[in-house]
Structure 1
Amino acid sequence: MNASPHRPVRLAVLSAAALATALLVAGCGETAKLSPELTTGPRPQLVDPNKTLIPTVNVAPAVGWTDTAAPTPAEGLRVTALARGLDHPRWVYTLPNGDVLVAESNKPPKPEGSSDGGSGPVAKVRNWVMGKVMGRAGAGVPSANRITLLRDADGDGLAEVKQVFLSDLVSPYGMALVGNELFIANADALVKVPYTEGDTTARAKPVVVTALPAGINHHWTKNVIANADGSKLYVTVGSNSNIGENGMAAEEGRAAIWEVDAKTGEKRLFASGLRNPNGLAWEPETNTLWTVVNERDEIGSDLVPDYLTSVKEGAFYGWPWSYWGGVVDARVTPQKPELVAKALAPDYALGSHVAPLGLVFSHPRGMPPEFASGAFIGEHGSWNRKPKSGYKVVFVPFIGGKPSGPPVDILTGFLSADEKAHGRPVGVALDKSGALLVADDVGNAVWRVSRSKPN
């Protein structure tokens, strides 16, 4: 038999795959050199990039919780399971009557023949590694594609009703109620259904408001929030790659926040250059829109800080050509110095690779005074950092509409002593009483965090 001219390449890929398997078990790559306090706040320390052939892989394998175990709240707080036994709950939304909607969702399947990052031998190995990483991290399960309603009628922190509200969606994520219409951000479109207070199931099939960039879906999650009068909706769309390696044509309309007219569905770009924006919230003192953003990977455990930032209309935040304002990413070609020159630096660094997803501002009625003014952030946790970061919910205090101090741990214990993931926090919201709700997609639960002693 004649040897195939492609056999050496295949062997190289197999060899790299074997190496990657070992790395997934043992962890790999360079270790962070900066302490957490140097990588958070308005002026984080930025080190030189450190790109390696195989990215740093340090994922926490998903193991879930036992039937009675729970994460650990900060002093003065207590945690209960509003609901357990959910199917990959990613997002939570509180309705005016106190009912809680939970998006049970995961990444949609890739279109046939598509690739997340090129077709060369190194790209194939990287894609193989990422597939294993996501599976070990609990992200490999099929999407339930539904929204479930939770009702805690007696206010004891435990939902007596757990009812499928709407099914057959497309990897749903964010939700927003405007009048009698519930808007849902699917992976491929913003849709809506009618809603009347007290409904436990949707009374009609979803109607498309506007299509959203989809396709390969390197970042598939889409969030939505309404402005004060409900006339405009703001929708997040993450990038289709780490740094544009699929070509910028695949990034059309992505790495951005869109403004959508709630009545007509017409939309325009509101802000861009945001690699993977997720949580959206209005800061209550200034009524300014804020978001949390997952920054780029594969240039070291200390780069690049994920962040919390106000969102300025028409602003550009750098991705993929630069980060933290004007710091050029030399991996991206061709360079665009004219865009780098206008890139805005974010307001507040949350640390490298913490993967912030959920965002909600606190309310004095539900929390002790030290947590009465600021932002709660669900940090899903790193895969590209050693040591691990994230895997917790933090609180960033605010004064005068701006962050005013370092992050404070609110809910921890999602990692076991041997660094396996009992859970991973995602979406956060306030319930009707002002208590904090946390969607836990690995733990398959929604947690409720409240004062340890009622008022």
Structure 2
Amino acid sequence: MDFIASATSLVGGTVAALRRLGSPKTQAFGKEPEIPEARAQGIMTLKMPAAEGWKDGHVPTCAPGLTVNAFATGLDHPRWIEVLPNGDVLVAESKEQAGPPRTLMDHAAQATMRRVKAIGKSANRVSLWRDADGDGVAEIREVFVENQNQPFGMALVGDRFYLGNTDGIRVFDYVPGQPLQGEGEPLVSFKPHGHWTRSLIVSPDGSKIYAGVGSLSNIGDHGMEAEEGRACIWELDVATGEARIFASGLRNAVGTAWEPVTGKLWTVVNERDGLGDETPPDYLTSVQDGGFYGWPYCYWGRTVDDRVEQDPALVARAITPDYALGGHTASLGLCWMPEGTLPGFGDGMVIGQHGSWNRSILSGYRLIFVPFENGAPSGPARDILSGFLSDDEKLAYGRPVGVTIGPDGKSLLMADDVGDVIWRVTGA
């Protein structure tokens, strides 16, 4: 089996090298992106750097006027961050669990993902970090809850703590400064496997919780019955416990954030594979109640994916996203950053781009900022942190994931699941 995986990965790497010659020179970014015509790939492009980590004082590169330090180190694949009202910082430590490979491409894809530590034994815990002396470095570390099932999203409403495991949402009693006790109460069940992350966000009035649930497959490869309840954002009523699908056709909506001018929910979505380096782009979009965003039938509005058996009625309803983020950037983390948080940055969304594994020239691998005016994106994206890749693209020092405003309101915290670090970004 190792020989099969290595051989298939070698073929995929050769294909990636050949496709590099024809890769688009510019990325599909912004409100009106230039998206190349789709070209179905017989063999999926596979390209992933090896996990190197940060050594000898090496740190990410900051935008001018900013500085970065390690807030927490020694984690086990940190993915998501939640800051509690008392300033405690929670970190979900979890990892994808590889299922039995069904095809040669499955073997190759899993071998590729292992190069960057994306698959393996999951810590299945949430750790608590506390910076008691306020110097920007956490000196207290505790286990907040463990023995979970690929935990990811977290949300606190009053004295009730909600945790998004891959198979559903559980709720626990919460006491400030103390770890969670007991097994919690199951509220909503989700289908595991495939896109396994379950992000959570509370509505501004505390009455609802929204959960991102990604698809099982790339384009409904196992039939749409297997995708029931997936590729969507769920809404949970805190008072009644009732849950419903809020928006659908979102292949893998991960990070979510509230935009304060309009009060709209926004999300970042990872789009489908196998149509080219920039086709289609991942995206940032506002989310409408009852809205349908195309997956798997079409993308970027109503551009039909002819690999999929069509549903014309759904295609006719498909909503065009607000802002393209480049092909296969794996944009996962998202938070609203108000003006004044970091010097030189106004209102806007901060996005953790985890980075590609399926295009000939790597993309993502950075923390970016999209400026907003009047409730909508208003200009080109800017880097906040970069330098996560070696110049030859062979090594990954880190990969950005979740991002949030720090406890002091004047910093950003970002999870790096290759470096096993929580980075803190502040003014220089």
TM-score, normalized by the shorter chain, greater than 0.5: yes
Query: How far apart, in 1, do the equivalents of 2:130 and 2:318 lie?
Result: 44
Query: How far apart, in 2, do the equivalents of 1:108 and 1:187 lie?
Result: 11
Q: Answer whether contact 1:108 1:187 (CA < 8 A) is retained.
A: no
Identify the match of residue 176 of structure 2 among 194, 197, 203: 197
Identity value in percent: 49
* 1:306-345 alignment runs, 5 A limit: 306-332=282-308, 334-345=309-320
Query: How far apart, in 2, do the equivalents of 1:354 and 1:29 lie?
Result: 20
Whichever residue aligns with residue 120 of structure 2, its letter is V
Q: Answer whether contact 2:24 2:277 (CA < 8 A) is retained.
A: no
Whichever residue aligns with residue 208 of structure 1, its letter is P
Identify the match of residue 248 of structure 2 among 248, 263, 272: 272
1:166 aligned partner: 145
Per the TM alignment, residue 92 of structure 1 is displaced from its structure 2 partner at its CA by: 0.5
Secondary structure in 2 matching 1:341: helix
Deviations 1:359-379 (A, max 9, x none): 0011234211x3130010000
Q: Answer whether contact 1:90 1:427 (CA < 8 A) is retained.
A: yes
Q: Answer whether contact 2:23 2:361 (CA < 8 A) is retained.
A: no
Give me the TM-score of the superposition, normalised by structure 2: 0.95
Runs (5+) with no aligned partner, structure 1:
1-9
Question: 1:21 and 1:437, CA in 2 relative to 1: closer, same or farther beyond 3 A?
Answer: same
Q: Answer whether contact 2:236 2:243 (CA < 8 A) is retained.
A: yes
1:212 aligns with 2:190: yes
Whichever residue aligns with residue 234 of structure 2, its letter is W
2:325 aligned partner: 350
1:247 aligns with 2:226: no
1:7 aligned partner: none
Secondary structure in 2 matching 1:129: helix
Question: 1:404 and 1:213, CA in 2 relative to 1: closer, same or farther beyond 3 A?
Answer: same
2:24 aligned partner: 34
Question: 1:308 and 1:154, CA in 2 relative to 1: closer, same or farther beyond 3 A?
Answer: same
Q: Answer whether contact 1:29 1:56 (CA < 8 A) is retained.
A: no
Per the TM alignment, residue 28 of structure 1 is displaced from its structure 2 partner at its CA by: 3.6
Query: How far apart, in 2, do the equivalents of 1:54 and 1:248 lie?
Result: 23
The structure with the largest alpha-carbon Rg is 1
Q: Answer whether contact 1:258 1:268 (CA < 8 A) is retained.
A: yes
Query: How far apart, in 2, do the equivalents of 1:371 and 1:361 lie?
Result: 12
2:121 aligned partner: 142
Question: 1:109 and 1:266, CA in 2 relative to 1: closer, same or farther beyond 3 A?
Answer: farther
Identify the match of residue 281 of structure 1 among 226, 245, 257: 257
1:431 aligns with 2:406: yes
1:381 aligned partner: 355
Per the TM alignment, residue 109 of structure 1 is displaced from its structure 2 partner at its CA by: 5.0
Query: How far apart, in 1, do the equivalents of 2:351 and 2:70 lie?
Result: 19
Quick check: 18-27 or 63-72, which moved more?
Answer: 18-27
* 1:63-102 alignment runs, 5 A limit: 63-66=52-55, 68-102=57-91
Query: How far apart, in 2, do the equivalents of 1:135 and 1:27 lie?
Result: 18
Secondary structure in 1 matching 2:278: coil
1:416 aligned partner: 390
Runs (5+) with no aligned partner, structure 2:
none
Query: How far apart, in 1, do the equivalents of 2:97 and 2:105 lie?
Result: 20
Query: How far apart, in 1, do the equivalents of 2:327 and 2:391 lie?
Result: 22
Per the TM alignment, residue 260 of structure 1 is displaced from its structure 2 partner at its CA by: 0.6
Identify the match of residue 45 of structure 1 among 28, 34, 44: 34
Per the TM alignment, residue 251 of structure 1 is displaced from its structure 2 partner at its CA by: 0.1
Query: How far apart, in 2, do the equivalents of 1:89 and 1:324 lie?
Result: 31
Secondary structure in 2 matching 1:317: coil
Aligned length: 425
Per the TM alignment, residue 14 of structure 1 is displaced from its structure 2 partner at its CA by: 7.4
Question: 1:67 and 1:94, CA in 2 relative to 1: closer, same or farther beyond 3 A?
Answer: farther
Whichever residue aligns with residue 172 of structure 1, its letter is P
Q: Answer whether contact 1:29 1:55 (CA < 8 A) is retained.
A: no
1:222 aligns with 2:198: yes
Deviations 1:203-236 (A, max 9, x none): 333211111122xx11000101111121111010
Question: 1:304 and 1:295, CA in 2 relative to 1: closer, same or farther beyond 3 A?
Answer: same
